């Protein structure tokens, strides 16, 4: 059985239910001592390079919203469900790890019971103070709950 994320590791967000999800920017090098994810969701405008773990690509251009919002809801819901397994190491990442990643993490927080109007604050407090970069990303999170 594999071990899940270390809650103290860089980028790991604890949701209110106790689920742990790591957010990160793909342009930053990983600490070679850190464990790799068991499942990754990559939020990019173009297809990401292959990785040696199970992964999904969600077409999501920089500073924008997902191209297919129904698919995004499905993928994020599946991601939240997978994070319930403490042995899973679920990762969400985009180029910089703030806008798209923060938006997706805020959506996971909504799925986890954080009120939509508080989810951005939650992610900025517990993940990255610059997360969710644009007004339309904030609106997307608020509407994600409805």
- Could you tell me the CA-to-CA distances from 144 to 25, 47, 93 in Å, in that order? 23, 24, 19
Looking at residue 146, its pLDDT comes to 73
Q: Which residues pair with 57 in a beta bridge?
A: 42
CA–CA separation, 49 vs 62, rounded Å? 17
79 within a domain of the structure (yes/no):
yes
Looking at residue 11, its pLDDT comes to 95
63 within a domain of the structure (yes/no):
yes
**What is the count of structural domains for the chain?**
1
3 within a domain of the structure (yes/no):
no
2 within a domain of the structure (yes/no):
no
**CATH code of residue 133:** 3.90.190.10
111 within a domain of the structure (yes/no):
yes
Looking at residue 2, its pLDDT comes to 65
- Could you tell me the CA-to-CA distances from 108 to 57, 58, 79, 89, 98 in Å, in that order? 17, 15, 8, 15, 15
| DSSP three-state, residue 4 | coil
- Residue 109 C-alpha from the chain's centroid: 10
5 within a domain of the structure (yes/no):
no
60 within a domain of the structure (yes/no):
yes
Sites in the chain below the pLDDT cut of 70: 1-2
7 within a domain of the structure (yes/no):
no
Domain limits for position 66? 12-144
Instruction: Tell me the pTM.
Output: 0.96
Instruction: Kindly give the interhelix angle for 99-111 and 116-126, rounded to the nearest 10 degrees.
Output: 120
Phi and psi (nearest 5°) for 70?
Answer: -65, -45
Looking at residue 89, its pLDDT comes to 97
């Amino acid at each position: 059985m594999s071990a899940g994320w270390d809650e103290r590791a860089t980028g790991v967000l604890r949701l209110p239910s106790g689920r742990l999800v790591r957010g990160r920017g793909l342009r930053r090098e990983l600490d070679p001592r850190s464990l790799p994810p068991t499942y990754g969701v990559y939020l990019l405008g173009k297809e990401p390079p292959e990785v040696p773990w199970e992964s999904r690509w969600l077409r999501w251009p920089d500073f924008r919203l997902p191209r297919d919002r129904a698919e995004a809801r499905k993928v994020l819901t599946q991601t939240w469900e997978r994070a319930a397994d403490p042995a899973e190491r679920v990762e969400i990442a985009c180029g910089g790890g703030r806008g798209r990643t923060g938006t997706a993490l805020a959506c996971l927080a909504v799925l986890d019971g954080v009120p939509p109007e508080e989810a951005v604050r939650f992610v900025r407090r517990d993940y990255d103070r610059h997360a969710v970069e644009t007004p339309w990303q904030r609106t997307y999170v608020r509407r994600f709950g409805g």
